[in-house]
Amino acid sequence: MRKIVVFLIFAAVLILIGFLGNNIYSRVLNNKSSVVSPVPDFLTILFNKEVSTLNLWLPSLKNKLSANLKTPEISAQSALIFDITTKEVLYSKNPTEKLPMASLTKIMTAIVALENKKKDDTYVVSKDDLVGEDSMGLDAGEKLLLSELLYGMMLHSGNDAAEVLANNFPGGRAAFVNAMNNKVKALGLSDTSFTNPTGLEGDGKQYTTAYDVVVMTEYALTNFPLFDQVVSTFDYNIPQTPTHKAFYLENETNLLTSYPGVKGVKDGYTPEAGLCLVTYLDYGGHKIVGVVLGSDDRRGEMIELLDYSLRSLGITPPHHG
């Protein structure tokens, strides 16, 4: 009898924590003005094994004032430049507007795959995985490692690599997409929805915000050294093995070789989303994440925003191509 009473008290406490957490979570999303520790939906965290880590970082959207600098005028529908080091917004334009994100989706695809790595680290390619124009060049029947697929997905934006990761997940592709959406909730975010692991159009409405992308990117860079290593690589050779052919992969869009201090992350494009880009800069003692969504010139505008952000910190931007 005593054990039953103790169990009921313990369950009541957990439910109360979940209730209070959801109230805190709602207030944070309605007023992102301070750094808090959100407690996401209790039942989601308890019963979904794929949501394994809570995020305790929701940055403030209060802008750093740069009165002496001319604010850049950009074509992007939304943009956010955030200094992780000082926890300051250096530039923002519609940072919480919900917009399609194209292949920026693959940041969350990488997170879920890394948090749920297969024990045998063997991922089998099926013919259903061979979708989209952007691919790393996989063939049905090949078997690859998680790390190899991450290079193919993040450097070459391989839709085939993303689909392989999703279809090799316990429960399959639908369970993987569900895990992506559960992970967003665990990170304390409510303005992002995924319908597939690639960002391609046609599977329903999918969207995010520049703010949410900053949080997801910071989470991936902070928690997964392999993610950091992959996205900071300009080109990569995967040698042939008995289970797959050789691959050469190159990051053609980000600023890795043209802007000193840039350590990559991800680009994206669909006709619906326009040109999108997430860039991670480590320069002058500051770690900065920049996001542009729906741009006409993602590279040029990201360069302009990074230069502006460094100057607002009193740092002379590096010479760049």
Going from the C-alpha of 40 to that of each of 56, 187, 236, the distances in angstroms are 10, 8, 38
Is 106 annotated as catalytic?
A: yes
| Alpha-carbon gap, residue 37 to 21, rounded angstroms | 9
Task: Read off the tokens for 202.
Answer: 């046609």
Q: Which of 157, 232, 295, 309 is catalytic?
A: 157
Residue linked to tokens 């992002």: 192
Is 295 annotated as catalytic?
A: no
Q: Which of 32, 78, 92, 106 is catalytic?
A: 106
Is 62 annotated as catalytic?
A: no
Question: Quick one: DSSP state of residue 298?
Answer: H
| Alpha-carbon gap, residue 124 to 168, rounded angstroms | 7
Question: Quick one: DSSP state of residue 104?
Answer: G
| Alpha-carbon gap, residue 223 to 238, rounded angstroms | 24
Q: Which of 32, 92, 93, 103 is catalytic?
A: 103
Task: Read off the tokens for 151.
Answer: 């290079």
Q: What strand order describes the sheet that includes 286-295?
A: 88-93, 78-83, 286-295, 274-283, 262-270
Choose among 165, 176, 174, 106: nearest CA to 134.
Answer: 106
Q: Which residues carry out catalysis? A: 103, 106, 157
